[in-house]
Amino acid sequence: MCAAVGLSLATAWARPNFSGDWKLNAAKSDYGPMPGPEKMERKITHDDPSLKMVTTQTGQQGEVTTELAYKTDGTPSTNKIRGQDVTGVAKWDGDVLTISSKREIHGMEITMNERWSLSEDGKTLSINNKVNTPNGDFEIKIVMDKQ
């Protein structure tokens, strides 16, 4: 029993902390069929189980800032993006943070399944996102560098 508790604590301690100021590395990112932003910056405050982020990106729709908050313990969270509710669940899968969310855009339900991982040196955040839409599925890879 003590070994199991020790292993559980070691796993919890090994989890990455995503806190910091991050900037999109467009050369390493792949937005699939979607146009990528011209610029994207994200400020993350991560004090497990609290995860908060403010993202500012510039693209075809001008500059857009979103604020999202999750609990990494699997508790559902509701955020607003452009006035619409987005329901999401964040939880750990080993040292990878998964965020599953649903939203409605123009009457279509969109689901996104993100997998966040941090490089060993803590300077690169990779987010692999599987997007499911009624018009087809695609993947997005976002790579951000710590500032």
pLDDT in tens, 43-52: 999 999 999 9
As given in the structure block, the two tokens for residue 60 are 């075809």
- What pLDDT is attached to residue 7? 47
Q: For all residues of the chain together, what is the average pLDDT?
A: 91
Q: What is the CATH number of domain 2-146?
A: 2.40.128.20
Pairing of strands 84-93, 96-105: antiparallel
- In this prediction, residues 18-35 reach a mean pLDDT of 96
DSSP bridge pairs for 43: 21, 54
At residue 3, does pLDDT exceed 50?
no
94 by Cβ neighbours in 10 Å (0-12 / 13-18 / 19+) ranks as exposed
Provide the CA 29 distance to its chain's centre, in angstroms: 14
Percent of the chain scoring above 70 in pLDDT: 91
Per-residue pLDDT tens over the stretch 62-100:
999 999 999 999 999 999 988 889 999 999 999 999 999
What is the predicted pLDDT for the residue at 82? 83
**For residue 93, which amino acid is it?**
D
* pTM score: 0.88
Tokens encoding 135: 């018009």
End-to-end CA distance of the chain: 42
